[in-house]
Amino acid sequence: MKVTVTLSYNSPMLKRACLYLSLLLFLSGCTFRSNPAPLPVEPLADRWARAELALTERRYSDAVRILEEATLAYPASVEVLLRIGQVYLTQQRWILAEDAFNRALAVAGGADARANAGLAETLLSQGRLPEALKYWERAAKLDPQLTGVFTGLGQTRLRFFDFEGAREAFETQQIHNPDNEAAWQLAAL
In CATH, what number does 46-131 get? 1.25.40.10
Residues belonging to the chain: 189
The domains of the chain are located at: 46-131, 144-189
Return d(Cα 97, Cα 4) in angstroms, integer: 76
Q: What is the pLDDT of residues 137-179, one digit of tens each?
A: 999 999 999 999 999 999 999 999 999 999 999 999 999 888 8
Residue 175: partners with Cβ closer than 8 Å, 6 or more residues away: none
Query: Using 50, 70 and 90 to split pLDDT, how confident is the model at 33?
Result: very low
